[in-house]
Amino acid sequence: GAVVSQHPSRVICKSGTSVKIECRSLDFQATTMFWYRQFPKQSLMLMATSNEGSKATYEQGVEKDKFLINHASLTLSTLTVTSAHPEDSSFYICSATRWDHYGYTFGSGTRLTVV
Amino acid sequence: AQSVSQHNHHVILSEAASLELGCNYSYGGTVNLFWYVQYPGQHLQLLLKYFSGDPLVKGIKGFEAEFIKSKFSFNLRKPSVQWSDTAEYFCAVNAWNRDDKIIFGKGTRLHILP
């Protein structure tokens, strides 16, 4: 079945630094990837939708200059949290789908802690 | 380790049929439970969630789910499905006192025949 690998699973960084999170589809071509964020004890919040080869579409309230999304190939999308602050500490998860949106597969998530 | 199991990968029903999608999880502590839906070409949407209280939870679009702690289950139900319910459904679990990691099941693809 379809597999999405997300890396790293856990990262701790200092305030002001940048962190890159990778989301890879291992056995299919992911034309669309979604990035979500989960706040403690809440449901997921969609941050952005990225289609391969084009700019990501950000949800209202999500700073595109802070959360840089790159979807340069059919198997890889990256989320870079720039100039991270403690309030960016959260759980980030990606999901990917094929061109026909036949099935969605989630990564295992990344726990980001900014100190 | 936590895990979430959705028993049916692909379900096909006729309109007006009743629906039940199974979800079991493995974690011995207190959990938050979710059902999400993803329509073709769209992002994930929350159908319903259980945090505490009444184990029978009602969500949007006529869906409900029942948390049975003794069975580690959180099955999703709808008495009469519509063609517009065609989508992929995900069960998810978030364990308390962990690192707020949310674990998704592999999803159930529901196809409703008109």
Q: What is the pLDDT of residues A7-63, one digit of tens each?
A: 999 999 999 999 999 999 998 888 889 999 987 767 788 899 898 888 899 999 999
Q: Which residues pair with A32 in a beta bridge?
A: A51, A97
Distance separating alpha carbons of residues A106 and A113, to the nearest angstrom: 21
Report pLDDT for B84: 95
Nearest 5 degrees, angle CA B50-CA B107-CA A88? Answer: 60
Q: Does residue B102 surpass a pLDDT of 80? A: no
Q: How many C-beta atoms lie closer than 10 Å to residue A72's C-beta?
A: 11
pLDDT of residue B53: 93
- Report the SS3 class of residue A75: coil
**Is residue A3 over pLDDT 80?**
yes
Phi, psi of B36 (to 5 degrees): -120, 155
B37 pLDDT more than 70:
yes
pLDDT band at A101 (very low <50, low <70, confident <90, very high): low
* Chain A residues within an 8 Å CB radius of B51: 41
In total, the C-beta contacts within 8 angstroms joining chain A to chain B are 49
Closest chain A CA to residue B93: A43
Across chain A, what does the average pLDDT equal?
Answer: 90
Q: What mean pLDDT value characterizes chain B?
A: 90
Q: Quick check: B90 contacting A, CB < 8 Å? A: yes
Length of chain A (residues): 115
- Residue B15 token pair: 């309109």
| Contact assignment for A106 to B104 by CB distance below 8 Å | yes
Distances (CA, A) of B13 to A15, B78, B85: 51, 12, 10
Q: How far is A40 from chain B (nearest CA, A)?
A: 6
**Percentage of the residues of chain A whose pLDDT score is greater than 70:** 96
Q: What is the pLDDT of residue B45?
A: 87
In Å, how far is A83's CA from the nearest CA of chain B?
23
Q: What is the pLDDT of residues B63-99, one digit of tens each?
A: 999 999 999 999 999 999 999 999 999 999 887 655 5
Asked if B102's CB is within 8 angstroms of A103's CB, the reply is no
Cβ of B46 under 8 Å from any chain A Cβ?
yes
Q: According to the model, what pLDDT value does residue B77 have?
A: 98
Q: Which of A38, A43, A104 sits opposite B38 (nearest CB)?
A: A104
Q: CA B45, CA A65: separation in Å to the nearest integer?
A: 25
Per-residue pLDDT averaged across A64-70, rounded?
Answer: 95
Q: B61: left (phi > 0), else alpha (psi -120 to 50), else beta? A: left
Give the model's pLDDT for residue B96. Answer: 65
- Burial (CB count <10 Å: 0-12, 13-18, 19+), residue B69: exposed
Q: Which amino acid is at A16?
A: G
Residues of A in contact with B90 (CB under 8 A): 104, 106
Are the beta carbons of A37 and A47 closer than 8 angstroms? yes
Q: Do B46 and A95 touch (CB under 8 A)?
A: no
